[in-house]
A and B are shown apart, each in its own frame.
Chain A
Amino acid sequence: MTAPAIANAALDDVTAVVAHPGQEPVRATRDSRPLRLITCGSVDDGKSTLIGRLLWDTKAVKEDQAATLQRDSNGKQNDLGLPDFALLLDGLQAEREQGITIDVAYRYFSTDKRSFIVADTPGHEQYTRNMATGASTADLAVLLVDARVGLLEQTRRHATIATLMGIRQFVLAVNKIDLTNYDRARFEQISHEFKELALSLGVRQVTAIPVSALKGENVVYDGRASMPWYDGPTLIEVLELATARSAQTVGFRLPVQRVSRPGESFRGYQGTVAGGSVKPGDSVVILPSGMVANVTKIVTFDLVRNAAVAGDAITLVLDRQVDVSRGDLIAAIDSQPMTGLAFDAQLVALQPEGIQPGKRYWLKSGSRRQRVQVQPASQLDLKTGKWNHADELPMNAIGKVHLIFDEQAIFDAYEQNRTTGAFILIDPDTNNTVAGGMITAKRAALGGIHAEESRVILSLPADLADQLMATELFAGRREDVEVRRVTAGKAAEIIDTIDG
């Protein structure tokens, strides 16, 4: 858990403090903020049944809703006497008529330990667009496979998109395990394959669970009777213990939504803390102007606070008259975001028009909206995981692009901050949202050498290389640098060559 997350969690629960020598104390705590998750899989994998089962067994479906289900489904029931869950989930008449889900739907259920928000996205066709939308706010992805079929190409696609959108916790639900006669070897083979896949994407938090959504085994209730060989958690247990998003390890960030001036004597800057924490006395910088001030007060309706952390909606009062307006970013002076006119980003194209090279879009990030020109560079082939050169991006494409601004832009890398590193593109002709994007890095120079050809090569002793690659600073610049591990002797040789 990151430091602000601990700070957050520390307020939430009574926590046990475990001291580790040389480190900040680690608090073993249950995160009781709502968990946002996304479910990925197709109708064939039993996704509707799984979500229906979660809602049913946590009593989120009420009798009258069930009665509507029975009425609508014309007696269509499965052999366990449960209603057709797909009808519960496919809310819109248009969808019911066509028998498909076409959009992201949000479901709510809770246990006595925690509440959950599920982004339910369709498994086919426009899945990239819908999945990206659902995944943008998710802390965890549940990937579904049919135990008889195993991993599919779509499993890789779903896992890839989830990773790109910043999800770092996966659950693999190996569904329909009852139809394999609860075959343990089969389950272990699939979960092994999946863990390899997840690792190749850099995701280490993976739990695989053998599940029968239809029979309700290992979803909310355990399936020990049928699977005595499985002693791991049920799906709901994993969800109860997962970490809610708080990957905000950079410094304090407050995108200013509005300036509050109820009278001559008060001037406050309202917004939601998008990273780090703040307390009275902290020095802050206002971007893009670069002016500096100190925090005097953190005002909320209930009380004047002596600190605020990521996620808090606050009103900040500064110690001097500075020019601050909506769209500005107030940031920690000792840990500032990147500012510049050119950035690299990855984005998902969401509309039929795709993303056209050179077209000027509106970019909105936090509370800031500005003009941007977008140059596509490459497109991800979801089948192979390779990035191929591309000049434009069709709908559902995932691409790497260069962003060129008229005025100073302010970002963190998405890997470091999922709020100040994220943006949407709006087509000025239609006003529609045409892309969701994630900042990877700032570009050093406009119109200079192309970044792809100008990677810095670092030859370092292996231990030093590993240390460097583990730093957050490096995480945002991975694109620009190639690290070569060499022996200490070889490194000394290289330095000699340069010096000599």
Chain B
Amino acid sequence: MPHSHPETELHNPQSTKPPLDPHLKALENEAIHIFREVAAEFERPVMLYSIGKDSSVLLHLARKAFYPGRVPFPLLHIDTGWKFQEMIAFRDEMVEKYDLDLVVHTNPRGAAENVTPFSHGSALYTDIMKTEALRQALDAGQYDAAFGGARRDEEASRAKERIYSFRTPDHRWDPRNQRPELWNIYNGMIRKGESVRAFPLSNWTEVDIWRYIQAEEIPIVPLYFAKKRPIVERDGMMILAEDPRLELLPGEVKREEVIRFRTLGCFPLTGAIRSGATTFDDIISELETATVSERQGRAIDRDQSGSMEKKKREGYF
């Protein structure tokens, strides 16, 4: 070979970050490749932005993929109206800081009928305020590709999801009839009305996400770090008791605990964990010894057996 063994990283004296370890570098390269491929092949891509840690990584990778240009597609946030307050503040800060285009959508039917997780139960609420809302927003924007932060290690039905996941015009996923996906060659050919969900983080695990956030110094919502916060216990979960709309049920007591969140969704449906993890190192070592998976804190996954697959077939992200 004519090539010598080059030092490929010319260290930027301003940068205090050490180069990424090869494992994270490989995951990053793969994700950037997917971002560029989708942006080049589709007419109207959009990035689903849930404000959580995976979304934060996704956004960071999108900025890297298109540098020195801007992120060439809008971010879409499905706002159920029941997100943690800190999430919304964080979202707006990111949009401002990184010069992003943001589309926020709330299901008008749900808002008009006052659909809440308390009045309608988690299953119906999720169906209307998340799944139906997402379909409305995707239709309204005529998006033909939507990036999502789903990972295959999250849940059993995701293990067989493709990186380009094909959806019918009514947003359905047919797990039995997925396109084969070989090498890193993605088939982006669709008819009008059909769309693709693209998952650049497919091969990442939860620990990878945290190690990458740490290594790349990616901003995240502070709720991921432990702090003394007001909570109530409900259905075996610790719910954050900050929002005035949360009404205490008979027998429930508000108290303070040092807690953090492993995932962030709608606050009434997201359980906190008891944790003293205030740094990235704490979180990672907590994860490495964790005995439960991250989705354990999500009420919606536990509705019924195979419930995530069912939601996905109907268009849930």
Q: Interface size for chain A: under 10, 10 to 19, 20 to 34, or 35 or more residues?
A: 35 or more
CA distance A103 to B176 in the complex (A): 8
Contacts of A107 in B (CB 8 A): 153, 159
- Closest A residue by C-beta to B60: A301
Q: A271-B36, A313-B28 are in contact. Are A91 and B187 (CB under 8 A)?
A: no
Which residues does chain B contribute within 8 Å of A307, judged by CB atoms?
6-8
The secondary structure that dominates the A interface is: mixed
Contact A302 B180 (CB under 8 A): no
Subset of 6 A-B contacts with CB under 8 Å: A68-B305, A103-B176, A108-B153, A299-B67, A334-B2, A367-B40
Stretch from B48-56, B250-258, B290-298 forming part of the interface with A: B290-298
Q: Is A276 part of the binding interface, using a Cβ–Cβ cutoff of 8 Å?
A: yes
Q: Which of B19-27, B130-138, B140-148 contacts A (4 or more CB under 8 A)?
A: B19-27
- Distance in angstroms from A297 CB to nearest chain B CB is 11
B306 contacts partner chain A, Cβ-Cβ < 8 Å: yes
Does B109 have its Cβ within 8 Å of any Cβ on chain A? no
**B309 and A93: CB pair below 8 A?**
yes
Q: At the interface with chain A, which of B9-17, B121-129, B225-233, B274-282?
A: B9-17
Is B66 part of the binding interface, using a Cβ–Cβ cutoff of 8 Å? yes
> Do A305 and B22 touch (CB < 8 A)?
no
B64 to A, closest residue via Cβ = A301
Q: Mark A14-39, 1 if CB is under 8 A from B, else 0.
A: 00000000001000000011100000
Interface of B is mostly: loop
Asked if B29 CB lies within 8 Å of chain A CBs, one says: yes
Partner of A92, one of B65, B191, B309: B309
Does A313 contact B160, Cβ atoms closer than 8 Å? no
Given contacts A308-B8, A334-B2, A432-B179, contact A62 B309 (CB under 8 A): no
- Cα(A279)–Cα(B21), bound, Å: 21
In the complex, A364→B183 CA distance in Å? 11
Chain B neighbourhood of A229, CB < 8 A = none
Q: What residues of chain B lie closer than 8 Å to A423, measured between beta carbons?
A: 185
A33 to B25 alpha-carbon distance, docked (Å): 9
Please, which residues of chain A bring their CB within 8 A of the CB of B152? 106, 108
Q: Are A137 and B305 in contact (CB under 8 A)?
A: no
> Is B104 in contact with chain A by the CB < 8 A criterion?
no
Chain A residues whose C-beta falls within 8 Å of the C-beta of B310 in the assembled complex: 93
Q: A62-B293, A104-B160, A258-B39 are in contact. Are A6 and B5 (CB under 8 A)?
A: yes
B214 within 8 A of A: no
B: residues with CB less than 8 A from A are: 1-3, 5-12, 15, 17, 19, 21-23, 26-29, 32-33, 36-37, 39-40, 63-70, 152-153, 155-160, 175-176, 178-185, 187, 189-191, 202-203, 205, 207-208, 290-293, 295-296, 305-306, 309-310
Is residue A257 within 8 Å, beta carbon to beta carbon, of the partner chain?
A: yes
Within 8 A of B (CB), among A390-439: 418-419, 422-424, 426, 431-433, 436
Find chain A residues with CB under 8 A from B28 CB: 313
Q: Which residues of the other chain, B, contact A270 by a CB distance below 8 angstroms?
A: 36, 65-66
B-binding residues in A (CB < 8 A)? 2-4, 6-8, 10-13, 24, 32-34, 62-65, 68, 71-72, 88-89, 91-94, 96, 102-108, 110, 114-115, 117, 129, 132-133, 136-137, 249, 257-258, 260-262, 266, 268, 270-272, 276-277, 279, 299-309, 311-313, 315, 326, 334-335, 350, 362, 364-367, 418-419, 422-424, 426, 431-433, 436
A171 to B233, CA, bound (A): 50
Contact yes or no, A300 B67, CB < 8 A: yes
Given contacts A8-B22, A89-B159, A106-B202, 17 further A-B contacts (CB under 8 A): A2-B1, A6-B5, A68-B305, A91-B309, A105-B160, A115-B205, A257-B37, A301-B63, A304-B10, A306-B10, A309-B8, A364-B187, A424-B183, A431-B190, A432-B187, A433-B179, A436-B183
Q: A12-B22, A133-B181, A366-B185 are in contact. Are A7 and B6 (CB under 8 A)?
A: yes
CB distance from A162 to the nearest CB of B (A): 14
The contact of B70 among A262, A266, A303, by CB within 8 Å, is A262
